[in-house]
A = this chain, B = another copy of it.
Amino acid sequence: MSIVLGANQYGKAENRVVRIYRDGARHELRDVTVSTALRGDFAAAHLHGDQSKVLPTDTQKNTCYAFAKSHGLREIETYAITLGRHFVDTVAPVTGARIAVDEYAWDRVPVGGVGHDHTWTRRGSEVRTTVVTVDAERAHVVSGLKDLVLLKSTGSEFAGFLVDEYTTLQETHDRIMSTSLVANWTFVDDVDVNWDESWADVRRILLEQFAVVHSLALQQTLWEMGKAVLEAHPEVAEISMSAPNRHHFVVDLGPFGLENPNEVFYAADRPYGLIEATVTRED
C-alpha cells in the first residue's frame, strides 16, 4: 500500500472587488468578495515542487479584477461563470474551477427624499451568494443567501416532542422563533435563468413563508419555505437550508412581582439549535 496525493485544489480567497458604473451622473455600484479555486493535474507541484503547471493565485486575483472591467460585473452568477469558464478553457492544466461570490447590497442615501446619484449606505448584514463549479462541459450554479436574520414574535409552537430521561424542556404553544438563514439552491440542467429576477423572487417567497406559516417546529417552516420555492420556480432543482434556532427565553419576572406574558426575553448566543434540511424533486 503506497501513499498518494488525493483531492486537491488551490486559489485566491476573498478578493474584495468593487465595481462602479459611471455612465452619466447616476452611478451604479457592485460590491463583492470573490474566491477562486482551480482543479487539475497538480501532482508535480505537490510531489516535486514543480510549479510549471501552476497558475499563481496572484494571477487569479488579477483576473478577477480585470474581468470586472472587461466582462463587467452585474449579475454575480454571470460573472462567476465567465471567470470559471476562462480558467478551464484557457489554462491548459486546469480541468475544473470553483468560483464563489458574496455580494453586499447598498442603498442610495436619500437626499430630500430622492436617492443620491453617487452616495450609498450598506443595506445590512444579509449577503447574496453564488458558487459556480465549471468543468469541460458545463457550469453548475448554486445561488443563495446567508445572514438573513428573521424573527417571529408569535405563531410558533413546540410541543408533542419525544421525551427521554434527559428531557427537561417544557412544551410551549407560543414562543419567539428567530434564525439567521442560510439558503442555497441549484438549478435544473440547461435552463436559461434571469439570475437577478429569480434570486429576488426566491428570497421573497422564503421571507413570506417564514411570516405566514404557523410553525409547529422550525423543521416544518423550512419544509414549507422550500416547497413554496420549488412550486413557484421550475428552474430550481433543489434547495438546502441551514437555520440556527436563535433562542429567545422568556425571563421569569415572578420574583419581582411581575407577570411576563411573552413580553420580555433574553436573547441567547450559544448554544443554539441548528436545523438543516433539503427540499428536492423526485420523478
Given A150-B119, A162-B54, A256-B165, the answer on whether A273 and B9 have CB atoms closer than 8 Å is no
Bound-complex Cα distance A2 to B277 (A): 17
- Of A69, A119, A275, most buried by chain B (CB within 10 Å of CB) is A119
Question: Nearest CB to that of A206 among chain B residues?
Answer: B109
A37 / chain B contacts, CB cutoff of 8 Å: 274, 276
* A268 interfacial by beta-carbon distance below 8 Å: yes
* Residues of A that sit less than 8 Å from B by CB: 1-22, 27, 29, 31, 35, 37, 42, 45-59, 61-63, 65-66, 68-70, 90-91, 93, 106, 109-112, 116, 118-126, 148-155, 158-169, 176, 207-208, 210-212, 215-217, 219-220, 222-223, 226-227, 230-231, 238, 240, 244-245, 248, 251, 253, 255-256, 258-283
Question: Nearest CB to that of A4 among chain B residues?
Answer: B282
Is A260 in contact with B69, judged by CB distance below 8 angstroms?
yes
Question: Nearest CB to that of A165 among chain B residues?
Answer: B256
Is A271 in contact with B13, judged by CB distance below 8 angstroms?
yes
